Amino acid sequence: MEEFDYLSSGEEEEDCESLDGIESDDQRWTSTSLSSTQVITEESLLAAQVEDLHRVMDLLTVREQHARTLLIYHRWDIDRLIAAFVEKGREWLFSEAGVTMVESRNSASSWSSSPIMCEICIEEVPPNSVTTMDCGHCFCNDCWTEHFIVKINDGQSKRVRCMAHKCNAICDEDIVRKLVSEKNPSIADRFKRFLLESYIEDNKKVKWCPSVPHCGNAIRVDGDAYCEVECTCGKQFCFSCSLEAHSPCSCPMWDLWVKKCQDESESVNWMTANTKPCPKCNKPVEKNGGCNLVSCICGQPFCWLCGGATGRDHTWSSIAGHSCGRYNAADKAKRAETDLYRYMHYYNRFKGHMDSLTLETKLKASIQEKVSIVESKNFGNKDYSWVINGLYRLFRSRRVLSYSYPFAFYMFGEDLFGDDMTEKIREMKKNLFEDQQQQLESHVEKLSSLLEEKFDEFTEEKIRDLRMHVINFSVSVDGLCLKMYECIENDLLGPLQHAIHNIAPYNSKGIEKASELPIFQDTSANLKSTKITGANNALPRASTTNEKRATDSSQPSSSGLLRESSSMDENICSTRKRSRKDGRGDTLIDLNLPTWVVDKNGF
Amino acid sequence: MDLSRVQKELKDCNKDREISGIGIEANGGDLTHLSGTITGPVGTPYEGGTFLIDVRLTGGYPFEPPKMQFRTKVWHPNISSQNGAICLDILKDQWSPALTLKTALLSIQALLSAPEPDDPQDAVVAHQYLRDHATFVATARYWTEAFAKRVTVGIEEKVQKLVEMGFPENSVRKALEIVNGDENMALEKLCSG
């Protein structure tokens, strides 16, 4: 790895783009192909799920709301839904998810003129103020409304069940919205938002961007969940754990490290003492009485004693089998002192590199200044992208180096893998890793010092020399980072017997920027070639009703339109400046504006 | 809260009190705090006992489940022997507004006949139920005798005593009936008006 010829530096040069281009290396390909990570904004939230909804609607010939109920039940995992359909059949699929469909929605009761007894309030009500749900149960509108509001306020919007005892049917979302909005429009809005946000909340492929203050976006990842991604708001994070990007540390390592580094606040203490994370969705669950079989709001039952997921058939005798009651007596006091010194060793290096990174970000301005000075000197070579390229390489590798210390702290410590390696093997692996780490460290420092040279005072000859060195060290640092990731994945974390730790793969170009969902511009006025987005997206507020109207009436249905996705490639418009036309024309949002303007005006 | 429904429910439930063995009374004029009584099912260790259940209604009733808790001590795998908390699905996530206080009390009565030791509220009782059934039955019966049958023991003496304290006899009898013969609770009730 020490020798680099000019050939490789030439390759690096090809990768170089304009000064701004490097900041977003991937810009080039987001505009032409779908990247594996996408940003879902408030406006594109509906568009993002339309594809899934329409697949289910087409496959099972159901209305959108039934497709949504099915997808929510299967946590937006279409493959699982289809597998259940193939294995167990339509009937089972529907009844399990609470989808019921009756042939005629107008049951006899709505035609009769005599008062109807509502079994909830035990009052007689005129027939025009009752509603019969798809499952056939009929109650008065006031009671339905109360029931919906209680359920929505209780956070159960996604599965509002019928009021009848033991009826598993999920209520028609249009009826819920209609009745609730008559009494309390803000709760109806909340209901709608919860339904839409189920696509983010319940879907393992989608996560909220953890930015603070929240940018309102979510990120969808199509491939491996172990990746690091950058939202359009600029927030970089680990998709797997939603904490900051921390590779080559694994998520559990980083979690432990962060906790170790910060003083635990009162609320953290309270949470640890009084809540347990749900084994499915990881939200902290507080026990509000009753037995040790606890249900999270996501529906997952688990054992309060050990926090492990259980089925509904969790039994008392199997509680006895849990090892949760056993006290794990580890004599930690003895090693406390050595542990502390060990921690300080790693922490100081981790922090040291972080501090260097902060200082080096200030370098950027001075480098740009120097570049403009040199550019005015009329030297032969006018391309100074290598300086900025080198600087970004420095940032990325500095980051890697910094996070490699908490990794090493846990990899070669007792906390996580105490039983996984013998002392001898641990020592051997530690030496192997530290050699690489030191090599990377020395190259990074060298690169850093090169970039601090006052090249604006240099002769052309000297600049050529510096350029060569910067490029060479950039390449070698990149190679060393890759090697370190490979070593971690293959030689260190891979062979572990008792634990599974994954890290995001090394990305030479830095953390991937999520692309915005492609918006297919409609050039032929009639929404002909809409694929994922189209009409639904243009009308965020009224979309669901419009869609329903479209599917119910004889107009060309939106699902029909979706199937006719021809020549869509021609219609891709720039992801930065989006243009969407509203075919039906009662609301017009000018999306030629920059995203941030649209976001502000959005719903 | 739907007070008219609660009133109707009370009326409806007490109509066939003798047959169903289920009764509900309002504590004074407060319709959010009720007292339910169930009789122990025949052929169980609870036979012959009358169990008092504290019923509290939240503002969301009937769209939110009523909160029910045994006031009479009872030895049962799904009922806490410490505080009377009940582990029953319809009082939690399986509640439906179509259910009533009476159906809920009937379900509790059914729970007395058919314990579910696999989903216990009281692990000690459940353990005994599964491992040493004979002792369980004996304990449950003893608890019934000791705590759930006080209504028959010397009711006249209690009436006498409370009347001597200065309460009108009618009110005393009514209060004792509501609280199932518990003297202290009757006193509490009489004092609170």
Q: What is the set of active-site residues of B?
A: 87
Query: Is the pLDDT score of A545 beyond 60?
Result: no
pLDDT band at B29 (very low <50, low <70, confident <90, very high): confident
A305-321 mean pLDDT:
55
Query: Which residues from chain B sit within 8 angstroms of residue A149, using beta carbons?
Result: 63
Instruction: Measure CB to CB from residue A316 to each of B4, B98, B118 and give the nearest one.
Output: B118
Write out residues 169-188 of B within 8 Å (CB-CB) of A: none
SS3 B168: coil
List the single residue in B with minimal CA-CA distance to A146: B63
- Amino acid A31: pLDDT: 38
Q: What is the pLDDT of residue A311?
A: 59
pLDDT of residue A47: 86
Is the reported ipTM for this assembly greater than 0.95?
no
- The Cα B188–Cα B172 span in angstroms is 11
Question: Residue B120: helix, strand or coil by DSSP?
Answer: coil
Ranges of H-type helices in A61-209 = 64-73, 78-97, 108-111, 141-153, 173-183, 185-201
pLDDT (average), residues B154-162: 76
Residue A485 scores a pLDDT above 90? yes
Name the residue facing A293 among B97, B98, B119 (closest C-beta). B119
Token pair for residue A576? 């930065």
B97 to chain A: nearest residue by CA? Answer: A163
Most trustworthy range by pLDDT among A137-146, A410-419, A556-565: A137-146
A324 touches chain B (CB under 8 A): no
Contact status of A146 with chain B (Cβ, < 8 Å): yes
> Tens digits of per-residue pLDDT, A135-170?
889 999 999 999 999 999 988 888 899 999 888 899
- pLDDT tens string A18-75: 334 344 443 333 333 456 888 998 888 888 888 889 999 999 988 888 999 999 999 9
Residues in A touching B96 (Cβ below 8 Å): 163-167
**Residue B26 CB coordination number (10 Å):** 16
Q: Which of residues 119-138 of A touch B (CB under 8 A)?
A: 119-123
- Taking contacts as CB-CB distances below 8 angstroms, the residues of chain A near B99 are 165
* Cα A8 to Cα A508: distance, rounded to the nearest angstrom: 15
Within 8 A of A316 by CB-CB distance, chain B residues are 117-120, 123, 126-127, 130
Q: Is A481 a catalytic residue?
A: no
Band of the pLDDT at A541, cuts 50, 70, 90? very low
Of the candidates A167, A290, A317, the beta carbon closest to that of B92 is on A290
Please list every residue in chain B whose beta carbon sits closer than 8 Å to the beta carbon of residue A167.
96
Average pLDDT over residues B149-163: 71
- pLDDT confidence bin for A288, thresholds 50/70/90: low
B93 touches A at CB < 8 Å: yes
pLDDT of residue A519: 53
Q: Which residue has the higher pLDDT, A484 or A268?
A: A484
Q: Closest to B87 (Cβ–Cβ): which among A122, A146, A290? A: A290
> Distance from B41 to chain A by nearest Cα, in Å?
24
CA A561 to the chain's CA centroid: 29
DSSP code string of A370-436: HHHHHHTT--S----HHHHHHHHHHHHHHHHHHHHHHHHHHHTSSTTTTTTS-HHHHHHHHHHHHHH
Quickly state the pLDDT bin for A298 (edges 50, 70, 90): confident
3-state secondary structure of A218: strand
Residue-wise pLDDT for A79-125, tens only, equals 899 999 999 998 899 988 888 876 544 544 445 678 888 989 888 89
User: Would the CA dihedral through A65, A70, A76, A77 be positive or negative?
Assistant: negative
Question: Both ends of chain A: CA-CA distance in Å?
Answer: 54
Phi-psi region for residue A299, left (φ > 0), alpha (ψ -120 to 50) or beta? left
Mean pLDDT to the nearest integer, A548-570 = 39
pLDDT range class, residue A292, cuts 50, 70, 90: low
Nearest-by-Cβ selection for A295 from B5, B93, B99: B93
In this prediction, residue B13 carries a pLDDT of 85
**B83 has a chain A CB within 8 A of its CB:** no
Residue A269 is predicted with a pLDDT of 52
Q: Quick one: closest CA in A to B88, which residue?
A: A290
Name the closest residue on chain B to residue A164, using Cα atoms.
B98
A363-407: pLDDT as tens digits: 888 888 888 888 887 777 778 888 889 999 999 999 999 999 999
Mean per-residue pLDDT for A542-546? Answer: 39
CA A299: distance to chain centroid?
Answer: 21
Question: Which pLDDT band holds residue A306 (cuts at 50, 70, 90)?
Answer: low
Least confident of A72-76, A595-599, B158-162: A595-599
pLDDT above 90 coverage of chain A, percent: 23
CB burial of residue A61 (10 Å; 0-12, 13-18, 19+): exposed
Q: Which amino acid is at A423?
A: E
User: Which is catalytic among the residues A121, A261, A291, A324?
Assistant: A291
Band the pLDDT of A560: cuts 50, 70, 90: very low
Most confident of A292-301, A575-584, B5-14: B5-14
Q: Which residues of A touch B64 (CB under 8 A)?
A: 150
Write the single-letter amino acid at A219.
Answer: I
For residue B130, the chain A residues in CB contact (below 8 A) are: 316-317
Is B97 near chain A, with CB under 8 Å? yes
Chain pair A-B, CB pairs under 8 angstroms: 62
Closest residue on chain A to B86 (Cα)? A290
pLDDT of residue A423: 86
